Amino acid sequence: MTKLILIRHGQSEWNEKNQFTGWVDAKLSKKGELEAKLAGELIKDLNVNISNSYTSFLKRATDTLSIVLRVIGDKNTGVKEAWELNERHYGSLTGLNKSETKAKLGEKVLNKYRRSWNLAPPPLEDNSIYLKRFSLLNKKIPTHKIPSTESLKDTYNRVIPYYKEHIHPNIIKGKNILVVAHGNSLRALCKYLFNISDTKINILEIPTGNPLYIKFSSDYAKIIESLYLDKNRKQLLFHNE
């Protein structure tokens, strides 16, 4: 049976500070590095050969993937970095402390920006100091495709076409796939894979550094099993109806 393993990167330094990170290229925290190592150990215990790995342009994801591959000892897996798997662009919320922003805007308004399906925060200004902290790999992105803010729907609209074109074809070839990305890019992918509604997607949380193991049926038509490998941590799963 073909397997797909999804990992949200380990905790980043900005996660640790409770800041909206988005496209800022924050590094892994010490805890994040340990989470990535544990993720690798959990995958190694599966004794699954990974054929292809995919990640974003952001170092917290690429470094997580590097640590995982080093732990499982897989030197032959093909690695592809894609901006389409980047975290959601948080626009003008970028860099703000989440607790302070909640106090300023109110919980209701902030939750709309964070959790609604199609509402994006105000755009990031062209002279924002945070633009200098974006990944240098972003220079590879066609200028007209670079957002200044995104809703989850916007994120979905770049993640899913990439999945359909580059990842799914390898799944139907019977290859085992590893994707290391971000909270919102993986929420978008899970929405598609598990057929989650626009209203229910707001309650899906993706934990850092906890591999989500997905097994497909022999005809690749449906998911027959899904579980988080670290069973001691919070698990929220959606299954096809």
> Known catalytic residues?
9, 87
Which pairs from 193-196 meet CB under 8 Å and 24+ separation? 193/223, 194/223, 194/226, 194/237, 194/238, 194/239, 194/240, 195/238, 195/240, 195/241, 196/238
Q: What is the DSSP letter of 220?
A: S
Selection from 37, 13, 55 nearest residue 230 by Cα: 37
| Three-class SS state of 142 | coil
H or E element at residue 7: strand 3-8
Nearest-10 Cα torsion for 22, 28, 32, 38: 110
Return left, alpha or beta for 22; rule: phi > 0 is left, psi -120 to 50 is alpha, else beta.
left
| Three-class SS state of 73 | coil
**Exposed/middle/buried for 219, CB within 10 Å: 0-12, 13-18, 19+?**
exposed
Residues whose CB falls within 8 Å of the CB of residue 4, separated by 6 or more in sequence, listed in order = 167, 171, 176, 177, 179, 214, 216
Number of H helices, E strands in the chain: 8, 6
